[in-house]
Structure 1
Amino acid sequence: MSVAADASGTARLLNWRIETDRADGRIAVIMEVHDDHTNRHGNMHGGLIATVLDTAMGATASFLKGDGGRIPFSTISMTVNFIAPMPLGIITATGRIMGGGYKTVFVEGEAHDQNNTLIAQATGTFKRAPIP
């Protein structure tokens, strides 16, 4: 996978990509899980799963409520439920707007492995960044 030159430091470090033009209308963060991303059990570290979900949900808020991604949203709170271990392979996290208004948006997220196994679910509250 290749990351855009203007990607964030975290995106460059973890080498994920964000898809905004999916057929299902969802924003997705897609990442290849390598040995460097694993815990002592050989599965993707839960903190990294949470990071991918946070990015997918924040990007969903930004692209769907923030002028096509031009206005960032920051995480106010987030809860993650881990369902299954994420082995080496491809993780895809997506977000879906559940409600909110102009400044605050409620988003749910799901992360699946390459076999479409549900890895984790999350909910989050995101706040629109002030316009400079």
Structure 2
Amino acid sequence: MSEGLIRDETGTQRLVGYVLDVGQPDRRARCILDMDERHLNRHGVLHGGIAATLLDNASGATASLTVDPAGRAPFLTISLNTQFLAPARAGRLTAIAEVTGGGRSLLFIAARLEHEDGTLVATSTGVFKRVPERA
């Protein structure tokens, strides 16, 4: 991770502590979190809301990369369906997304959240809408 990183851009990003990597040659954004006790639920594993946040951010940034090489063009989440597959404990998590379809204003995006040990923690599919530019 180095060039193409987005840090501390939003309040949510600062609160949760993730980093967006929008600088990969495959034009697929990564949302990376070094998970610790702040991100756990009462059962001592990753909170589902945090997992969904990582998947959503990787997906939205991937949508942005379709129109903006810096990955900052705004897209809104229209829907996000999340499947929780395995618990995750402390360590690095990476959500990576890819465009699976769509057109000029709506994109369909699938994402995966993996723990650094290779465990597939969660997946998502979503619909993302480009925010129109103001005149």
TM-score w.r.t. structure 2 length? 0.89
Deviation at 1:130, TM superposition (A): 1.2
Aligned 8 A contact 1:71 1:131 in 2: no
Match of 1:110 in 2: 112
Q: 1:4 aligns with which of 7, 22, 34?
A: 7
Match of 1:45 in 2: 47
Query: Which segments of 5 or more consecutive residues in structure 1 lack a partner in the other structure?
Result: none
Structure 1 stretches of 4+ with a deviation exceeding 6 A read: none
Aligned 8 A contact 2:27 2:62 in 1: no
Deviation at 1:15, TM superposition (A): 1.3
Match of 1:33 in 2: 35
Aligned 8 A contact 1:3 1:16 in 2: no
Q: 2:86 aligns with which of 69, 84, 87?
A: 84
Say which SS state the counterpart of residue 40 (structure 1) adopts: coil
Aligned 8 A contact 1:95 1:108 in 2: yes
Q: Which amino acid aligns with 1:43?
A: V
Aligned residues: 130
Deviations 1:80-124 (CA, angstroms, capped at 9, x unpaired): 001100111111001000000010000000000011211001000
Deviation at 1:3, TM superposition (A): 6.5
Q: Percent identity among equivalent residues?
A: 40
Deviations 1:43-99 (CA, angstroms, capped at 9, x unpaired): 0100110011000001100112x3222421100001000110011111100100000
The 10-residue stretch of structure 1 (110-119 or 24-33) with the greater mean CA deviation from structure 2: 24-33
Determine the C-alpha separation between the residues in 1 that align with 2:133 and 2:78.
18
Match of 1:101 in 2: 103
TM-score w.r.t. structure 1 length? 0.91
Determine the C-alpha separation between the residues in 2 that align with 1:55 and 1:63.
12
Match of 2:68 in 1: 67
Determine the C-alpha separation between the residues in 1 that align with 2:133 and 2:25.
30
